[in-house]
Structure 1
């Protein structure tokens, strides 16, 4: 009986130790080591990059020191996010925006956003692009963008995120090792209680690992591709000067008259369909009124004629005197 319970007890003890160690490993920083559970052999941590002390010279090819080579290696280990903003005055912002997009795509970059505003009488045309270019091609792309027109201003900003990236890498390594150990325990678990506990912890650790991986991927993309906001504008057109002599005044007056005539033509064109509709409705209303008035007048005439026909004439109303009866004295 004791022999049968020994493996289950050992698995339960290993699981408990692993859970306690994993809780510590998930919150470690880049300088910490993954937790080691009792009875387990933790994987060897990744070796840290060999960075010499500030005062120690970097040996190159048989001990020759080179500060430039050390600086190049140090820069290669850094993670820097570079963003920039460039304002350029050009003749045609819309066409120049197309040229800038082609230039960025040829360098291996991409256009994240693009806004174009056509010119109006009160506002000149303009265009704005947000582009992403490979970090190692940033200087070359900026130099080519400067050639598109007259540069008004350039602003570049670099943010060092080396520590943040190293911290994410360390936490991802620790969680990866923890997930691997949980999967090994899941494969050797013999009781339902152990299976449920291991699966629950494995789900939590895997979700944390996926979240950290997405954060690192986003950070790597920001480091590998620099962001540039490019504003393309054009010079504002100066307003026409006021007329200062008779001839210029005459030309200005004629232009105003032509513009007013054109405005009247546009207004008449807009109102013409409404006028036609109003005339049609008015004609229908007038026709109905006339017909109703005529019908009422004819009815009145017919009524008057029937009244005249029913009344006796004066000649018919005066009857002749009756003859005298016999024996009555005559006048």
Structure 2
């Protein structure tokens, strides 16, 4: 009987021990003898995990951000600006900024646009925008590219790391046994969630820059030639003769406009004078 009791006690102790080990393994070393939770150590979020970023990336899978600017001289910058917007939107892009300036110093104004163009359509759109120039060729064109393949891989890895940490913390949150553990886990989850959201915002911004190239388009117009001032007697005489001819030309035009009215006024005046004389003559005959 004593052996049975001893054997039963041993089996019970072994069962409890195995249960304790199993629970401890499920918590991944979360609790210690004091009952406090030991949170998992976060991997270094600034280091790309694995060798993806270090390996040679094929050309077709590289991530590149392209930016550029171009200057075009147009007959009417405002009209050219509207046409540029249509070209970009037809290519699937958008306009992030548009500023137009009124005419000044004898020109016909100017405009500046910030265009976002699908990377695969960039060259075709640049060619279309160059056609807006007076000569059909843009005055200046400049583009530059930046390879961000490693940065994209780094962001992807850091986001995956933060999501993994949050998943493990959520699992621990469901197994926490004290209020202090719950508060600590909740604080840690909120911190990593904020970091994750910031990284995801950076990822969205980078994806947008990769998909849509940024092109700054400056539209300008040629200034009209200023009036040349006479510098000597000959040029002064020519300027004076031109002014004289222009004056009498204008005078003849004005006379041509007024002539019908002058004829009408002369007719009315003549009729009025004849009627007055006739009336006076009648009065004189009646008085005699």
Identify whether the pair has TM-score above 0.5, normalized to the shorter chain.
yes
Q: CA offset at residue 186 of structure 1?
A: 1.1
Q: CA offset at residue 209 of structure 1?
A: 0.6
**CA separation in 1, counterparts of 2:149 and 2:38?**
30
Q: 1:120 aligns with which of 104, 109, 125?
A: 104
Would you say 1:190 and 2:177 are equivalent positions? yes
Q: CA offset at residue 108 of structure 1?
A: 0.8
Q: 2:92 — aligned with what?
A: 108
User: How do 1:123-162 residues align onto structure 2 when only pairs under 5 Å count?
Assistant: 123-149=107-133, 150-162=137-149
Q: 1:220 to 1:249 in 2, by over 3 A?
A: same
User: How do 1:12-161 residues align onto structure 2 when only pairs under 5 Å count?
Assistant: 13-14=29-30, 19-22=39-42, 25-32=43-50, 48=52, 74-149=58-133, 150-161=137-148
**CA separation in 1, counterparts of 2:150 and 2:37?**
30
Greater shift, 11-20 or 242-251, is seen at: 11-20
1:26–1:175 CA contact under 8 A, matched in 2: no
Q: CA offset at residue 88 of structure 1?
A: 0.9
Larger radius of gyration: 1
Q: 2:208 — aligned with what?
A: 221
Greater shift, 239-248 or 164-173, is seen at: 239-248
Q: CA offset at residue 187 of structure 1?
A: 1.8
**Residue correspondences, number:** 218
Which protein has greater RCO, CA pairs closer than 8 Å, 6+ apart? 2
Secondary structure in 2 aligned to 1:19? coil
1:110–1:133 CA contact under 8 A, matched in 2: yes
TM-score by length of 2: 0.67
Q: 1:237 to 1:204 in 2, by over 3 A?
A: same
1:12–1:194 CA contact under 8 A, matched in 2: no
Q: 1:259 — aligned with what?
A: none
Secondary structure in 2 aligned to 1:13? coil
Residues 257-296 of structure 1, C-alpha deviation per residue, up to 9 Å, x if partnerless?
A: xxxxxxxxxxxxxxxxxxxxxxxxxxxxxxxxxxxxxxxx
